[in-house]
Amino acid sequence: MIVVMKIGSPEAEIKRINDELTNWGLTPEKIVGKHKVVIGLVGETASLDPLQIQEVSPWIEQVLRVEKPYKRASRQFRHGEASEVKVNTPAGTVVFGEHHPLVVIAGPCSVENEEMIIETAQRVKASGAKFLRGGAYKPRTSPYSFQGHGESALELLAKAREATGLGIITEVMDAADLEIIAEFADIIQVGARNMQNFSLLKKVGAQGKPVFLKRGMAATIEDWLMAAEYILAAGNSNVILCERGIRTFDRQYTRNTLDLSAIPVLRDLTHLPIAIDPSHGTGWSNYVPSMSMAAIAAGCDSLMIEVHPNPKKALSDGPQSLTPQGFEQLMQELAVIGKAVGRWEKPTAVV
């Protein structure tokens, strides 16, 4: 349920309502929107009568039931307003959200060595990326494949961060690594294969860094929003949803089927920012430009693109990685669409 407050409701009254509803055994959550304050309610609300809550204060404008099983993640929970995920990076705060410029995340599948990660970071930064992706702990289908350099890779990411000012995003696969990853990363990624690792979701929800939640390869939109709900319910409201291709019957020419319709569907259903990963989504770098163009035209808030200085020699996912040159060219093409749809960052007056 949500309690929509009238414009101009006094802080003290909002606090009083909050306390009252807490006494009722509910968990109120204050959401400050552009115009109005909304109090989200989670708990045993099924038996509650909205009218009963309405009577708690004359400052309450409306009490509405959230019909979706994902409560906090639903667009209704914020009374229709998009949320913003603000991330601190050395170069300043970057905001992911519907009313902000597209945020581009780029980098290699895995952090391989210092030279390659620094070089990649510098190149993608120069082309306009705001975040560097790079795997320290890699979920690999085979136990015999390269599993990532772990902690030492985190240190290399820190160096790349320092050298370029880019924010860092990297994946957590094991709750035991969460603390150290949170030390180094600005955003923590939960990968497709762990989207329903509920223990991990609870733990990333209980820490403070923003979470980049990839869609599971057979997850319905609803499964995915329920996974986000685990994180939100654990106390972390900074969740970015990332579509990365679903598994379908046709895997001959693309590794997955990139479900771009997730963009308008999620926009309807949730207030959370939406990212697209065309690299995993298609599995082939030559399809990445076209799908990136489509994603921004469809309204996504962020793109995650794999870039490797030498894709042919990559330790993982080479075929889907752009070269730095390829990425630079793509960013120029994206700018054309991005400007056309009003989602491209304006150059600052003095640099």
By the rule CB under 8 A, 337 interacts with its own copies: yes
Q: Does 151 bind its own copies (CB under 8 A)?
A: no
Residue by residue, DSSP assigns 320-335 as GPBPHHHHHHHHHHHH
Q: Does 175 bind its own copies (CB under 8 A)?
A: yes
Instruction: Restricting to residues 94-123, name those near its own copies by CB under 8 A.
Output: none
Helix axes 151-164, 114-127, angle to 10 degrees: 40
Q: State yes or no: residue 251 binds its own copies (CB under 8 A).
A: yes
Q: Does 182 bind its own copies (CB under 8 A)?
A: no
263 binds its own copies (CB under 8 A): yes
Q: Binding residue for its own copies (CB under 8 A) from 96, 131, 212, 287?
A: 287
Q: At what angle do helices 324-340 and 114-127 cross, to 10 degrees?
A: 30
Residue 176 in the binding site for its own copies (CB under 8 A): yes
Told to check if 169 binds its own copies by CB under 8 A, we report no
Alpha-carbon distance of 351 to 347, in angstroms, equals 8
Which part of the chain contacts its own copies (CB under 8 A), choosing from 94-102, 108-116, 287-295, 321-329?
287-295
136 touching its own copies, by CB under 8 A = no
Q: For the packed helices 288-298 and 262-269, what is the interaxial angle rounded to 10 degrees?
A: 30
CB of 136 vs its own copies, minimal distance in Å: 13
Give the residue from 202, 212, 100 showing the smallest Cα distance to 167: 212
Q: Which is nearer to its own copies, 95 or 175 (CB)?
A: 175
Among 115, 218, 325, 332, binds its own copies (CB under 8 A): 218
Per-residue tokens: 43 = 């708990």
Tell me how many degrees the CA angle 63-267-135 measures, rounded to the nearest 5: 120
Residue count of the chain:
351
Q: Does the footprint of its own copies cover residue 234 (CB under 8 A)? A: yes
Calpha distance 291→68 (Å, rounded): 30
Contact 6, 33 (CB under 8 A): no
Q: Looking at the DSSP assignment, which residues form a beta bridge with residue 38?
A: 4, 31
253 vs 347, which CB is nearer to its own copies?
Answer: 253
Interacting positions 188-217 with its own copies (CB under 8 A): 193-194, 196-200, 202, 216-217
Q: Is 259 in the site for its own copies (CB under 8 A)?
A: yes
